[in-house]
Structure 1
Amino acid sequence: MKIVEASGLGLRTRRGWVYRDVDLTAEAGELHAVTGPPGSGRTSLLLTLAGRFPYNEGELRRRGNAALGQVAGVHEADPTLTVAEHIQERLLLLGPVPCRRRQLVPVAAVRARRAYRRDAFAAALAGAGCTGVPLDPDRYGRDLTPVERQVLGLVLAGLSGPNLIVADDVDAGSDAPERARIWATLARLAEQGYAVIASARAVEPGSTAIVHRIGDPGRPAPAGPTPPTPTLVSPPATARHQTPEVAA
């Protein structure tokens, strides 16, 4: 089932292109990687695919809801909450999965949300396929390493049972073994039925991700300085840590 279909997608400001000519189709169960150098528009493109950023060229179709993992400056861990508190808060905000949606939500997400009063931390990690990645439930957001922030973001994203999960700069601040674990975690999420799109400077060798490179040297560069950041398109949320669901 196709979750995201982008054709000729582009965002242009008065100072030039942020990204352009992007063709990307992601189906349920697929892992995609958007690669490119800093300033190539990777973050803006991910947010556009998730319905949180505008575009003014091409076409974009998305089926179902999207959730953000770690996106620096947009969707990050609260420095004053522990990992366990992040998970408990998100589960309380989401509440139980309505009966009418249970067949549309991955089983792992349903189980995690049912378990929030018993062992939310273990259930959430298991549901996101992150049991092999060390994550201390008592560690505060301000103390998390870049890899731990990515893992927590993916765990929180999966709790809402979205069709699409996006995560930005998944290889930032990590060494080779950590990058291998992150890409393996992203692949396990895809195996659960999510469409997963992550951005990185490069994909770790051995990853099964379908790669889309933007900002290649042969492509026309933006005119002038780095384009300003357009206003985010933010669906209403009931609390700062809730991952809003994006309508198709």
Structure 2
Amino acid sequence: MKIVEASRLGLRTRRGWVYRDVDLRVGPGELHAVTGPPGSGRTSLLLALAGRFPHTEGELRRRGPAALGQVAGVHEPDPTLTVAEHIQERLLLLGPVPRRRRQLVPVAAVRARRAYRRDAYAAAIAGAGFTDTPLDPDVYGRDLTPVQRQVLGLVLASLSGPNLIVADDVDAGSDAPERAWLWAALSRLAGQGYAVIASARAVEPGSTAIVHRIGDPTRRIRTELTLPAAALVKPRAAQDQTPEVTR
């Protein structure tokens, strides 16, 4: 069973194509990466896959709920709340997992939502598989580093027990060791059964992510030299010197 299936997906506006001809199939427990240069439409594509943005071409099928991690300008930490307060607030908004849905929600998310009154931070971090995370529960949203913002976004997304988690620009503002840690963390998150799609300029070497490259130039390269029509007409002298071909 696939959580997301996109066929020739595209978004076209008055200014032209944002992205086009995207084919993508993501199942539970898989980590996929959408890569490309700035302006290639990665964010718009991720939001469309999560059901938060329209598309104009192709087909998109998604099974179950989707949750957003960090998406700049769309889904970001509150600068006035600490990490722990973000988690407590999200758990209070979500409430306990209804009994009828407990078979559909990862066990870790159920446990985190049961523990929100006791130790919400520890339960949420453990539930996402980020026990080695460089995240301080007392740091305010405005003071988080780019990697910490990504981690907090992923933890918050996992609390609702979605089928799909998406995160944008996961390599922005980080150095090589931070990127390596984050891609490994994304793999662990997918290993819990989530379908995970992250966007980045590139994927770190050694990552298990299945890569989908978008936004590359599609200009056709001409492999033959085409001469003007006049150049194809031989001069009279040259025609006279052309040997006859007998058949």
> Structure 2 CA distance, aligned partners of 1:42 and 1:219?
20
Residues 103-154 of structure 1: CA deviation (Å, up to 9, x unaligned): 0000000000000011100010011111111110000000000000000000
1:76 aligns with 2:49: no
* Matched residue SS, 1:119: helix
Moved over 3 A (4+): none
Q: Larger C-alpha radius of gyration, 1 or 2? A: 2
Aligned to 1:53: 53
Structure 1, unpaired ranges of 5+: 221-248
Aligned to 2:107: 107
Aligned residues: 220
1:1-248 correspondence to structure 2 within 5 Å: 1-218=1-218
> Structure 2 CA distance, aligned partners of 1:134 and 1:9?
36
> Structure 2 CA distance, aligned partners of 1:15 and 1:143?
37
TM-score (norm 1): 0.88
Residues 44-101 of structure 1: CA deviation (Å, up to 9, x unaligned): 0000000000001000000000000000000000000000000000000000000010
Offset, 1:217: 1.8
Residues 211-230 of structure 1: CA deviation (Å, up to 9, x unaligned): 0000012368xxxxxxxxxx
Residues 175-224 of structure 1: CA deviation (Å, up to 9, x unaligned): 0110011101100110000000000000000000000000012368xxxx
> Structure 1 CA distance, aligned partners of 2:179 and 2:215?
22
**Higher RCO, Cα 8 Å, sep 6+:** 1
* Matched residue SS, 2:96: coil
* Matched residue SS, 2:103: helix
CA RMSD of aligned residues (A): 0.8
Tell me the amino acid that sits aligned with residue 40 of structure 2: S
Tell me the amino acid that sits aligned with residue 104 of structure 1: L
TM-score (norm 2): 0.88
Shift of the 6–219 alpha-carbon distance from structure 1 to 2, 3 Å rule, reads farther
> Structure 2 CA distance, aligned partners of 1:133 and 1:110?
21
Aligned to 2:242: none
* Matched residue SS, 2:76: coil
Aligned to 1:226: none
Structure 2, unpaired ranges of 5+: 221-247
Tell me the amino acid that sits aligned with residue 197 of structure 1: I
